[in-house]
Each structure stands twice: as C-alpha cells, then as structure tokens.
Amino acid sequence: MSIKAFLAACILGLPVVAFADQSFPAPDWKDDYDPIASPDAEPGGKLSAFVSQYPKSFNYYLDNNVFNARLFGLMFENLLSTHPVDLSREPALADAWSISDDKKTFTFRIDDNARWSDGKPVTARDVLWTFEAIMKPENLTGPHKVGLEKFETPKILDDGRIQFTSREVHWRNLLSLGGFNILPAHIFAEKDFNKINFEFPVVSGRYRIDEVKEGQVVRLSRREDYWAASAKRGQGTASFQTLEFRFYAERETAFEAFKKGEIDFFAVYTAHRWVQQTEGDAFKNNHIIKQQVYNYNPVGFQGFAMNMRREPFKDLRVRRALAHLLDREKMNANLMHNQYFLHSSYYEDLYNPEHPCPNPIIPFDQEEARRLLKEAGWAANPKTGILEKNGKTLLIKFLTRSAASDKFLVIYKEDLRDVGIDLEIDKKDWAAWARDMDEFNYDMTWAAWGAGIWRDPESMWHSKEAARASGNNITGFTNRRVDELIEQQRGIFEIVKRNEILREIDGIVTGEVPYVLLWNINYTRLLYWNKFGMPKTVLDKFGDEDGAYGYWWLDPDSEADLADSRETDATLPSKPFKVEFDEAFEGMGDARR
C-alpha cells in the first residue's frame, strides 16, 4: 500500500488503534524501545533551526502557535504519551489509569518517580492546578478550554492519584485528559497566569530553557537529571545537548543565515525556494542535503480567513465572489512551479477513490464574481470604479505578518481592483498580528492550519467557539446543522462513523466559504547541513519536521567530514532525495531485539 493510500486508510477509519481498553497497564504491556529511534544515537552537540517571528509569549496556553506547542512539549509532560507507530496510549507522568464502565470517570496514578527539575515530586495537585488555570474564565486559554470544559473539577484522591468525571461521553475524553501539559503548581500558583510569558524555571521534561535573547534566540539544554532518563521507550531520542531556536522577521533572512551555516536545519514552505534557490556548490557537493519526506503526517489546510462577524463578509455572496477572484491556477503555475494541489476541502485526507470529494473547486471567474457582488447590492461609483453600498466603499484590509505573502497579494489586489474592490495590506509583526486575531480585529488574513490524527471539528467550527477570545474559530463561523453534527459525533467511538459525519460537516463548511481556500502538499521539504545522524525514515511516522528534534543526533564523524569538505570544496556522499516511511521503516528496530 502506498503512503498516500495508507494515510487515507488511517483517517478514513480502518482500525489503527482502539480506545476500548478500560485500564492500563495491560497484562502484556512492557516498556520497550521506540521502533523509530536509532540505537546509534549519541547524546551531545547542537541543532540550530529557524522557527518563526518572535511570539508574544512562550506560554502555549496563552499563545496557541506551532512553536509554542513544540517548546512546551520539550519542557512539560502530559499524563499520557502515544506510541509512535501504532498510536496506542503509553505512560508519561501517569504510569496507570482506569476508565469507568460508563466511560465518564477517569482515574490517573502519577508515577512515583516523576520529578520536577528542582527535585520536587510531580503530584495530583499540579494536575488540578493546571486544569483550573486553563479553565478560569479570566485566563486567555481559549482553544485549550474546548477539550477540558466537558469535565467537572477533578478530585485529588491522594498525592499520587487524581480523578476526572465528564459531563458527557466523548470519544476525545481520554485524549484531552492525557494530552495537556502539566505545569508546576508550586512555582506558578501565586502568579497571574496571563502574565506567565517567558520564564519557566522549573520543568518536568527532557529540556529546559537555558538562555533567551529577546527577539533573537532561545536555547534549550538537555537535562541530565531527567526523571525518566532510564526508560527504554526514550532511548535514542532527544539526543541534542542544545536545541537552538532562532527568530527572524522574514523567512528569506533566515534562509540566508542557513546558507551561511548559521542555522543547521531549514524546513522549506515555498515552492520557489525549493525549486530555484537550492543550487550551488553547497548543494552540488552534498554539504547541504535536500530531501522530500513522505509519511503519514495528516494534511491540514490554508486559506484567506474572512471575518464573518463584520460586513461585508457576513454575506455569502461576497465571500464566494472573493473566492472566485483568487487565480490559484495562475499562482500555482507562475509562482509555485505547479508543486501544489488546490484545496477543495478542509479535510483533504477524508477522501479517496472510495469516498471521492464532492466539493467543487471554486474557479477563477471574474464575471461570476461581478454577478454575485451585484446581487449583493454593490454597485460601481462611476467616478472611481470602486464598488459602493449604502454610502460605503468595498475596501478590504488584509492583515499580514510576512513579506512572503506580498507576491500573492499583489496579484490578488489587481484582480480585485478589476471588479471594483480595494485591497489594503496591513503588515504587522507576529505579536501584533496575534493580538489583532485574539480580538477579532481584522478583515482578512492568511491562516495555515495543521491537522491532528484524530479529527475533532469542535474548536474551529462550533458556533460557541465563534466568540471565544484566542480561539480557533477565527472566522466567526456559525451554522446550526454543523453544531448538531459536532454534538452528534461526540459519543461515537467508531472512526468510520465519525468520518462520515466529518464529510457532511466539510461539505457544509466548504459551501459557506469562511476561507478563500489556497493549496497544499502532502510531504515535508527539508534542507540541512550534512553532519547529522538520523533514522532511515528521517522523520517519524505521523509528524512533520519536528521529528528532527526528537530523532536526530550530531554525528561527530560526519561533522568533521563536513568541515574538511567545506575547506577543500570536496564532495560528500549523497543521500536519497525522496524518502518514503514504509520503505525506510521495514526492518527498523531489529538491531535492538
């Protein structure tokens, strides 16, 4: 089975993992080696990578972005972890748990060995305090409330045991409880949670923050006193002594730093860079490796989000017109070398030949856009040519945070202008952009969303999320039928049935056009200096470039060879350009058996 076919099979409901087990540990469970991790991995060295613009906070609960999720995952642990191949639940801070027969009560036992970096034990109080901090109405933890608000305040049974009771049966309940990062109550309990931004002096995870240079870099150090260092399942992972994350205002600046060797590792998000800016001696001599990695990383979506809370975006006809005015085929051909597929869905991998996507791709069609705008009551001012309605001109402010979007917006602006719409680009840095998004202070913006293995539409598409500050329903989408379907799928544990409901939700959402959908790819594009050891799969099974932080290591021999080759302009051995997980994974793990 191909990678793409297997991904479709996973998401479409073939049995990948069951949540039927009522208790853990099961009689046949044992701590075992990670089948992806290499036995050759050695601790030490540094990995330096570009991550983003400097965020408004490092607190993932307050600033819900990809980098902060990564940072918190390195520093703070969950109650449960996930097996990297079969997705079964495994221990993390909790070493045992049970679920009541009615699937509403969940009891967790904290591992007696679990310790914070200051030596204090991790206790049920830490779990309770973190839960309460997330759920306090005054704390700006919007999207993190969604999964936990189904539960009553948990009960501490003793220092090492805590019990949660859900108000309803939901397939996500164990995932929600097992998956939130636990923070140390004895450090943060007396602080204003909304002001816990950049200082995290005590952690439970493998890494801790060692140095922060505001706006420039954050460095993490590997903890030698990590409480679970001897567990088999962690061997061969988290090998770098130092993880260095660098911040740049623009990806172009970061890429120039990468080519100079100031950054070790660079994930490429633009086709132009991948096709036209990866040439020269460093690439020819294999000093820099270029790879396309295909695995089971679920496909998200990206698009121009429209704020449906305000005019003119409340009108579906206007939203459809704006979608018809984006010439995606032209952009894909002229700017992106036809490297992308065009979105027709918010859940692309719900569809395969057995379940073809019924959503039509919205084509570039200025005449249809004109018709829709006229029907919506917009008429051109004979002097300016700009559309007007009720004395107001059709002016759209496009909130952006990156110059990389400019070349697309210039084309879009010209096509909008042809039918009488003015587009004004409002460029801000990441922190200012995030503040505006938290306050719904925007007309349109470019938003890219990743995807989880277990798809839950609630945080993005339920009506109650439209008013939640700092939430994921940034467009303000509301639809009664979608609400009904979201509520219907909560108690369904069979993935096949949930995906049937998701396809109906997808059809409704696509028809309502909350986003002008864009394009995507189904693989990860990597560039890195040729000095690292890594598994044959390069990345893990279900993840993106983040797999490098967990599974790679600095190879001293390769580092020395690279240094010599750069001095002499010699050529290093090549690596495969295309890596497919299934092919590479075959036989891995045997060396540990």
Apex CA 523: angle with CA 520 and CA 529, to 5°? 120
Could you give the CA distance from residue 39 to residue 32 in angstroms, rounded to a whole number?
13
- Quick one: pLDDT at residue 579? 97
- Quick one: pLDDT at residue 310? 96
Residue 382 burial by Cβ neighbours in a 10 Å radius (0-12, 13-18, 19+): exposed
- Quick one: pLDDT at residue 551? 98
The whole-angstrom distance between residue 316's C-alpha and the CA centroid of its chain comes to: 29
Domains, the chain, with CATH or none: 59-198 (3.90.76.10), 248-297+522-592 (no CATH), 301-520 (3.10.105.10)
| pLDDT top residue among 64 and 161 | 161
DSSP for 31-97 reads ----SSS-TT-----EEEEEEESPPS-S-TTTS--HHHHHHHHHH---SEEE-TTT--EEESSEEEE
pLDDT of residue 19 exceeding 70? no
State the average pLDDT over residues 22-33. Answer: 88
- Quick one: pLDDT at residue 591? 52
State the average pLDDT over residues 146-163. Answer: 96
Give the start-end residues of each E strand in 144-276. Answer: 155-158, 161-165, 207-213, 217-222, 242-247, 265-267
pLDDT of residue 110 exceeding 80? yes
- Quick one: pLDDT at residue 28? 84
pLDDT of residue 9 exceeding 50? no
pLDDT of residue 133 exceeding 50? yes
- Quick one: pLDDT at residue 462? 97
Give residue 10's pLDDT band: very low, low, confident or very high (50, 70, 90): very low
State the average pLDDT over residues 450-473. Answer: 91
pLDDT of residue 20 exceeding 80? no
pLDDT of residue 402 exceeding 70? yes
| pLDDT top residue among 433 and 1 | 433
> Would you say 124 and 50 are in contact if contact means Cβ atoms under 8 Å apart?
no
- Quick one: pLDDT at residue 27? 83
pLDDT of residue 14 exceeding 70? no
State the average pLDDT over residues 226-248. Answer: 97
State the average pLDDT over residues 268-273. Answer: 92
- Quick one: pLDDT at residue 588? 78
Instruction: Show Cβ contacts of residue 278 under 8 Å, excluding neighbours closer than 6 positions.
Output: 268, 288, 290, 527
Question: Phi and psi for 51 in degrees, rounded to 5?
Answer: -120, -45
Question: Does the pTM of the predicted model rise above 0.85?
Answer: yes
- Quick one: pLDDT at residue 430? 83
- Quick one: pLDDT at residue 537? 97
